Amino acid sequence: DAKTTQPNSMESNEEEPVHLPCNHSTISGTDYIHWYRQLPSQGPEYVIHGLTSNVNNRMASLAIAEDRKSSTLILHRATLRDAAVYYCILRDTFNKFYFGSGTKLNVKP
Amino acid sequence: AAGVIQSPRHLIKEKRETATLKCYPIPRHDTVYWYQQGPGQDPQFLISFYEKMQSDKGSIPDRFSAQQFSDYHSELNMSSLELGDSALYFCASSPQGYNGELFFGEGSRLTVL
Protein backbone atom coordinates (compact mmCIF):
# COMPACT_ATOMS: atom_id res chain seq x y z
CA ASP A 1 0.00 0.00 0.00
CA ALA A 2 3.04 2.28 0.10
CA LYS A 3 2.49 5.00 -2.45
CA THR A 4 5.77 6.81 -2.09
CA THR A 5 9.25 6.16 -3.42
CA GLN A 6 12.40 7.35 -1.69
CA PRO A 7 16.11 6.65 -2.12
CA ASN A 8 17.37 3.99 0.27
CA SER A 9 20.12 6.14 1.69
CA MET A 10 21.74 9.55 1.47
CA GLU A 11 24.79 11.11 2.96
CA SER A 12 25.44 14.67 4.04
CA ASN A 13 28.13 16.70 5.70
CA GLU A 14 27.42 18.35 8.99
CA GLU A 15 26.14 21.94 8.76
CA GLU A 16 25.32 21.59 5.09
CA PRO A 17 21.79 21.56 3.65
CA VAL A 18 20.16 18.24 2.84
CA HIS A 19 17.46 17.68 0.24
CA LEU A 20 15.53 14.43 0.69
CA PRO A 21 13.35 13.60 -2.33
CA CYS A 22 10.10 11.67 -2.44
CA ASN A 23 8.05 10.60 -5.43
CA HIS A 24 4.30 10.11 -5.08
CA SER A 25 3.02 10.02 -8.62
CA THR A 26 -0.35 8.50 -7.69
CA ILE A 27 -1.21 11.14 -5.11
CA SER A 28 -4.82 12.27 -5.06
CA GLY A 29 -5.94 15.83 -4.70
CA THR A 30 -6.85 15.45 -1.05
CA ASP A 31 -3.82 13.49 0.17
CA TYR A 32 -1.58 15.29 2.64
CA ILE A 33 2.17 14.76 2.36
CA HIS A 34 3.75 13.92 5.70
CA TRP A 35 7.38 13.50 6.71
CA TYR A 36 8.52 11.64 9.80
CA ARG A 37 11.90 10.52 11.02
CA GLN A 38 12.92 7.66 13.21
CA LEU A 39 15.98 7.06 15.33
CA PRO A 40 16.91 3.46 16.21
CA SER A 41 14.53 1.89 18.73
CA GLN A 42 12.47 5.07 19.01
CA GLY A 43 9.02 5.95 17.83
CA PRO A 44 8.72 7.93 14.60
CA GLU A 45 8.82 11.68 15.09
CA TYR A 46 6.77 14.16 13.11
CA VAL A 47 8.80 16.54 10.98
CA ILE A 48 6.45 18.43 8.69
CA HIS A 49 3.41 18.06 6.46
CA GLY A 50 1.64 19.96 3.72
CA LEU A 51 -1.00 19.80 1.01
CA THR A 52 -0.09 22.10 -1.86
CA SER A 53 1.98 25.03 -0.69
CA ASN A 54 5.54 24.88 0.56
CA VAL A 55 5.76 24.71 4.33
CA ASN A 56 8.37 25.81 6.83
CA ASN A 57 8.76 25.04 10.49
CA ARG A 58 11.57 25.08 13.01
CA MET A 59 12.77 21.64 11.96
CA ALA A 60 12.65 21.73 8.19
CA SER A 61 11.06 22.97 5.00
CA LEU A 62 8.82 21.05 2.66
CA ALA A 63 8.88 21.86 -1.02
CA ILE A 64 5.96 20.43 -2.98
CA ALA A 65 6.06 20.21 -6.75
CA GLU A 66 3.39 22.10 -8.62
CA ASP A 67 1.82 18.86 -9.88
CA ARG A 68 2.19 17.36 -6.38
CA LYS A 69 3.76 14.20 -7.77
CA SER A 70 6.93 14.77 -5.79
CA SER A 71 8.16 16.63 -2.75
CA THR A 72 11.46 17.43 -1.08
CA LEU A 73 12.25 17.67 2.59
CA ILE A 74 14.91 20.26 3.23
CA LEU A 75 17.07 20.27 6.33
CA HIS A 76 18.80 23.62 6.18
CA ARG A 77 21.85 22.73 8.27
CA ALA A 78 22.28 19.07 9.01
CA THR A 79 23.58 18.10 12.41
CA LEU A 80 24.68 14.72 13.71
CA ARG A 81 21.36 14.52 15.54
CA ASP A 82 19.56 14.58 12.19
CA ALA A 83 20.95 11.15 11.27
CA ALA A 84 17.84 8.99 11.06
CA VAL A 85 15.50 7.19 8.69
CA TYR A 86 13.19 9.69 7.02
CA TYR A 87 9.78 8.58 5.83
CA CYS A 88 7.55 10.33 3.33
CA ILE A 89 3.93 9.24 3.82
CA LEU A 90 0.62 10.16 2.24
CA ARG A 91 -2.36 10.57 4.52
CA ASP A 92 -5.72 10.28 2.78
CA THR A 93 -9.27 11.20 3.67
CA PHE A 94 -9.82 7.70 5.05
CA ASN A 95 -6.97 8.28 7.49
CA LYS A 96 -4.83 5.59 5.94
CA PHE A 97 -1.22 6.05 7.04
CA TYR A 98 1.21 3.50 5.64
CA PHE A 99 4.97 3.63 5.93
CA GLY A 100 7.04 2.80 2.88
CA SER A 101 10.77 2.31 2.74
CA GLY A 102 12.35 5.49 3.96
CA THR A 103 15.68 7.14 3.38
CA LYS A 104 18.46 6.48 5.82
CA LEU A 105 20.34 9.74 6.25
CA ASN A 106 23.93 9.58 7.34
CA VAL A 107 25.52 12.84 8.51
CA LYS A 108 29.27 13.05 8.44
CA PRO A 109 31.12 15.31 10.88
CA ALA B 1 2.57 18.31 27.14
CA ALA B 2 1.10 14.84 27.50
CA GLY B 3 2.33 12.31 24.97
CA VAL B 4 1.16 8.90 23.81
CA ILE B 5 1.77 6.38 26.57
CA GLN B 6 2.44 2.74 25.82
CA SER B 7 2.72 -0.06 28.31
CA PRO B 8 4.51 -2.19 29.03
CA ARG B 9 7.71 -0.86 27.47
CA HIS B 10 9.27 -4.31 27.46
CA LEU B 11 7.64 -7.71 27.51
CA ILE B 12 9.11 -11.18 27.34
CA LYS B 13 6.87 -14.13 26.54
CA GLU B 14 7.22 -17.78 25.60
CA LYS B 15 5.93 -19.26 22.37
CA ARG B 16 2.18 -19.95 22.38
CA GLU B 17 1.58 -17.52 25.23
CA THR B 18 -0.59 -14.42 24.99
CA ALA B 19 0.34 -10.77 25.38
CA THR B 20 -1.57 -7.53 25.71
CA LEU B 21 -0.17 -4.13 24.83
CA LYS B 22 -1.84 -0.92 25.89
CA CYS B 23 -1.90 2.50 24.35
CA TYR B 24 -3.13 5.71 25.94
CA PRO B 25 -3.56 8.43 23.33
CA ILE B 26 -3.10 12.11 23.88
CA PRO B 27 -6.25 13.61 25.49
CA ARG B 28 -8.92 14.53 22.93
CA HIS B 29 -7.31 12.40 20.25
CA ASP B 30 -9.91 10.03 18.87
CA THR B 31 -7.85 8.10 16.33
CA VAL B 32 -5.36 5.38 17.23
CA TYR B 33 -3.01 3.46 14.96
CA TRP B 34 -0.97 0.33 15.72
CA TYR B 35 2.26 -0.58 13.93
CA GLN B 36 4.65 -3.50 14.13
CA GLN B 37 8.35 -3.02 13.40
CA GLY B 38 10.60 -6.04 13.16
CA PRO B 39 14.40 -5.77 13.40
CA GLY B 40 15.73 -3.72 10.50
CA GLN B 41 12.25 -3.34 9.03
CA ASP B 42 10.01 -0.38 8.35
CA PRO B 43 6.89 0.03 10.52
CA GLN B 44 4.05 -2.13 9.22
CA PHE B 45 0.50 -0.91 9.73
CA LEU B 46 -1.64 -3.31 11.74
CA ILE B 47 -4.94 -1.65 12.55
CA SER B 48 -6.53 1.69 13.33
CA PHE B 49 -9.54 2.98 15.22
CA TYR B 50 -11.60 6.12 14.98
CA GLU B 51 -14.14 6.94 17.68
CA LYS B 52 -13.89 3.41 19.08
CA MET B 53 -14.66 1.79 15.73
CA GLN B 54 -12.14 -0.03 13.57
CA SER B 55 -11.36 2.28 10.68
CA ASP B 56 -8.71 0.36 8.74
CA LYS B 57 -7.01 -3.00 8.86
CA GLY B 58 -3.59 -3.84 7.59
CA SER B 59 -1.36 -6.85 7.87
CA ILE B 60 -2.62 -7.93 11.26
CA PRO B 61 -2.52 -11.70 11.86
CA ASP B 62 -5.77 -13.43 12.80
CA ARG B 63 -4.11 -14.30 16.13
CA PHE B 64 -4.11 -10.59 16.96
CA SER B 65 -7.08 -8.50 17.93
CA ALA B 66 -7.48 -4.95 19.10
CA GLN B 67 -10.08 -2.56 20.33
CA GLN B 68 -10.51 1.03 21.42
CA PHE B 69 -12.37 1.66 24.66
CA SER B 70 -14.76 4.38 25.76
CA ASP B 71 -11.88 6.41 27.24
CA TYR B 72 -10.12 6.11 23.85
CA HIS B 73 -7.29 3.96 25.09
CA SER B 74 -6.56 0.95 22.93
CA GLU B 75 -5.32 -2.57 23.56
CA LEU B 76 -3.62 -4.97 21.18
CA ASN B 77 -4.11 -8.60 22.14
CA MET B 78 -1.78 -11.21 20.71
CA SER B 79 -2.35 -14.92 21.18
CA SER B 80 -0.43 -18.08 20.27
CA LEU B 81 2.72 -16.02 20.10
CA GLU B 82 5.36 -17.02 17.58
CA LEU B 83 9.04 -16.18 17.43
CA GLY B 84 8.33 -13.92 14.46
CA ASP B 85 6.09 -11.73 16.60
CA SER B 86 9.17 -10.38 18.33
CA ALA B 87 9.18 -6.73 17.37
CA LEU B 88 8.65 -3.17 18.45
CA TYR B 89 4.98 -2.25 18.55
CA PHE B 90 4.15 1.40 18.14
CA CYS B 91 0.93 3.16 18.83
CA ALA B 92 0.12 6.58 17.41
CA SER B 93 -2.74 8.94 18.04
CA SER B 94 -4.20 11.79 16.06
CA PRO B 95 -6.92 14.34 16.60
CA GLN B 96 -10.07 14.32 14.52
CA GLY B 97 -9.49 14.92 10.86
CA TYR B 98 -6.96 13.60 8.46
CA ASN B 99 -4.91 16.74 7.95
CA GLY B 100 -3.05 16.61 11.24
CA GLU B 101 0.10 14.92 12.37
CA LEU B 102 0.39 11.59 14.12
CA PHE B 103 1.95 11.42 17.55
CA PHE B 104 3.83 8.22 18.27
CA GLY B 105 4.53 6.52 21.55
CA GLU B 106 7.91 5.18 22.57
CA GLY B 107 6.87 1.67 21.64
CA SER B 108 6.55 -1.68 23.39
CA ARG B 109 9.28 -4.19 22.71
CA LEU B 110 7.97 -7.74 22.64
CA THR B 111 10.42 -10.61 22.78
CA VAL B 112 9.10 -14.11 22.20
CA LEU B 113 11.39 -16.93 23.36
Q: Give the span between the Cα atoms of B92 and B34, in whole angstroms.
A: 7
Note the pLDDT of residue B2.
79
Strand-pair category, B108-112 with B10-13: parallel
Residue of chain A minimizing CA distance to B107: A43
Task: Give the residue numbers in B contacting A (CB under 8 Å), as ranges.
Answer: 4, 31, 33, 35, 42-45, 48, 50, 55-56, 58, 88, 90, 92, 94, 98-99, 101-107, 109
Q: Provide the strand spans (E) within chain B.
A: 5-7, 10-13, 19-24, 31-37, 44-50, 53-57, 64-68, 74-78, 87-94, 103-104, 108-112
Note the pLDDT of residue A95.
80
Q: How confident is the model at residue B74 (pLDDT cuts 50, 70, 90)?
A: very high
CA distance A60 to chain B (A): 15
Note the pLDDT of residue B65.
97
* pLDDT tens per residue across span A72-85: 999 999 999 999 99
